[in-house]
Amino acid sequence: MKPSVYSLTLVEFAKLGGLKLQLVSENDQVDIFAGAYALQRFDNGAKPNTIRVDQNAILLLYRFCKEKNINLIERIASLNPLTIGEIESLSSYCGYAQQTGDRVGANWYSARMRCAKNFIDYLWLFYEGRAARSVQHLKTARRLYEGMKAGFNLYLKSPYKGDKKDRIGLTPELQVRFISIIDPSENNQDNPWKSARVKWRNYIFLLLLMLGGNRKGETLLLKLNDFQLTGPRKYFDILKNPDVVIYPRAESPSVKTYGRQIELHDNFAALIEHYIVSVRKEFDGWQKTSYLFLSCRDGQALSVQTPNSILNELIKQYPEFAGLLTPHRLRNTFHDLLNQALDKKFKNESGLSRKIMKAPIQESAGGWAKNSSMPEHYSKGSIQATVAELQVILQERILGKNK
C-alpha cells in the first residue's frame, strides 16, 4: 500500500465565482474531511485567509498523526478521542517549524492548536450520533470528549514563548545594489522585468516597502485617493479599518498595524505621480478600479502572492539576494535606516534619553502600539552595522599601534 503523503492542493470552485482554496490532500487527492470542513467554514462566512490557516493546521495535524501512527478518522469514528499525552505531544509538535526546526511564534502556535481542536470537534460532531451504540456508550464517549477538550484548553491557555527573532534588513551594500537593479530606466540592463509598465509598477511598489516602511498587505490595499501628491505637504494614508474592503481576489490582504500617514519627499512624490498619470493607464481596465497596483493579466488589483513572486524573479537572476530578500525584509530595511537616522539626530543625548526620544517615532512609523517592543527587534540590523564598524576601527587602531 502506498504510504500517505500529505500536502496542500489549490482547488478552484467554478460555481462559487472562481473561488480558489488550498485544501489538504493525501497523495494528490483532496481529503474529503478537510475539504468538507473548508466549505462549511466558507459557508459560515470565513474568509479565504482564515480557511488557509485552518488547512495549514489540519495538514500539520495529519502529519503529526502519521508520525505517531494515529489513525485520526478511525479514532474519532469509534468515539475514541485523543489522550492528554497525545495532546501534549501535538502541542510540542505545533511549537516548531517543520522545515527549519526553529520555534514558531506564539500566535502561530495558538492558531495551530486552536484550528486542530476545532477540526477534531467538527469530526466528533459528525460521528457522535452515528457511532454511539447505546445511550450509555454515548454518555461515556461524551465524558471522554470533554476530557479531550479540557486537554486542548489547558495547552491553549498555558504560557507559550516562541523565539522572538530580530528583524534584519538588507546590508548597505545590498541596498545600493537592490536600488540599482530595480531602477526602471530604459538603459538599465540589470532590471529583471520585461515591459516598462511592469518595471515602473514594481519599482514604486518596492520603494514603498523600503522607504515607507509599509507591510505587503498595506501596500496592496493602497488606492489612488490615499495619496496627496501636490501642495506643500505630500503624503499617503494607510487605513487600519476601511469601511468596506472589496478585494477582487480570493485571498484579501490585511492591515496588521495601526493606520498612519507617511510623508513623501518631493522626488518620491514625483515618481509616484508619474506612475499614476503616465504608466498605470497602460494596464488594461485601469479605469475600473482605484487600486494603485494592477495586474498585467486582468487589470485587477495584484494578488497577495504577487509581491513575493516579483522578488523571487529578481533573486533567480541575482542569487546574492537568496535568503535575504522578501517584502518584509524591505520593511526591516526601512527600520534600520530610520534607526540610523534617529541615532544621528539624537547623537548628543545620553543613551537612555536617546532611546526614550526615539521610541514614539519608531512606534508611529511602524504602526505599533505605545511601549511596543517591536522597535528593538526591527533595529537589529543597524545596531549590528554599528558594532561591525566599531570593531573594524578598534582592530585598525590596535594593529596600527603594534605595527
Each residue of 91-108: pLDDT tens digit? 999 988 876 677 888 888
Residue 164 counted as domain residue: no
325 and 180 in one domain?
A: yes
237 and 146 in one domain?
A: no
Residue 80, classified by CB atoms within 10 Å of its CB into exposed (0-12), middle (13-18) or buried (19+), is middle
Per the model's pLDDT, the better-predicted residue between 191 and 47 turns out to be 191
Residue 283 has what pLDDT?
Answer: 95
388 and 319 in one domain?
A: no
Distance in Å from the first CA to the final CA of the chain: 73
123 and 10 in one domain?
A: yes
Q: Is the pLDDT of residue 392 over 60?
A: no
Residue 207 has what pLDDT?
Answer: 92
Q: How far apart are CA 315 and CA 330, in angstroms?
A: 14
Domain hosting residue 298, numbered range: 172-330
Residue 256 counted as domain residue: yes
374 and 250 in one domain?
A: no
74 and 200 in one domain?
A: no
Rg of the chain, C-alpha, whole Å: 26
Residue 403 has what pLDDT?
Answer: 44
Q: Which residue has the cell 465524558?
A: 143
> Looking at 283, 299, 330, which one is the last position of a domain?
330
Percent of the chain past pLDDT 70, that is, above it, reads 85
Which SS3 state, helix, strand or coil, does residue 19 take? strand
Determine if residue 272 is left, alpha or beta; phi over 0 gives left, psi from -120 to 50 gives alpha, anything else beta.
alpha
> Looking at 101, 132, 157, which one is the last position of a domain?
157
Cell numbers given for 337: 535606516
| Number of domains composing the chain | 3
Percent of the chain past pLDDT 90, that is, above it, reads 45
> Looking at 134, 157, 180, which one is the last position of a domain?
157
Residue 337 has what pLDDT?
Answer: 81
Residue 396's pLDDT band, with cuts at 50, 70 and 90, is: low
Q: What is the DSSP string of 102-131?
A: PBPPHHHHHHHHHHHHHHHHHHHHHHHHHH
Residue 22 has what pLDDT?
Answer: 87
- Tell me the average pLDDT of the chain: 84
Residue 130 has what pLDDT?
Answer: 74
Residue 379 counted as domain residue: yes
pTM: 0.63
Q: Is the pLDDT of residue 315 over 50?
A: yes
Residue 134's pLDDT band, with cuts at 50, 70 and 90, is: confident
Q: How far apart are CA 294 and CA 403, in angstroms?
A: 61
- pLDDT tens digits, one per residue of 27-50: 889 999 999 999 999 999 888 888
The residue-averaged pLDDT of 47-56 equals 89
- pLDDT tens digits, one per residue of 227-283: 999 998 899 998 876 545 677 876 778 777 777 888 899 999 999 999 999 999 999
